Amino acid sequence: MSVDSFASQKAFAEANGGISFKLLADFHPKGAVAQAYGIYNEDRGVAGRSSFVIDSEGVIQDARTYPPGELPDPQELLGIAKG
């Protein structure tokens, strides 16, 4: 999910050779979901890079934020999700 528009996300997906999963746009009202999760940077108008593992009951089991340039480890997050 990003605070970018659907058009921006489509261009991003195409520029990266296509993406096989849906991208979610937190565009209008801009950053509303990011604000609810406490990761919206009001000064820059962007969401911070973050990952959330949410269980089937809707409870956040793990939340992490990452500095610019650092990527989450998908295998680590998958392990957390599998419990």
Q: Round the average pLDDT of the chain to a whole number and report it.
A: 93
pLDDT at 52: 94
**The tokens 């990011």 sit on which residue?**
34
What's the farthest any 2 CA atoms get from each other in the chain? Answer: 36
**pLDDT score at 26:** 95
Residues of the chain where predicted confidence (pLDDT) is lower than 50: none
User: What is the pLDDT, as a whole number, of residue 83?
Assistant: 85
Rounded Cα gap, residues 3 and 25, in angstroms: 6
| Residue 2 · residue 47 · CB < 8 Å | yes
pLDDT of res. 21: 87
| pLDDT value, residue 50 | 95
Q: 53, 81 in Cβ contact below 8 A? A: yes
- Tell me 48's DSSP state: P
User: What is the DSSP pairing of strand 50-54 with strand 60-65?
Assistant: antiparallel
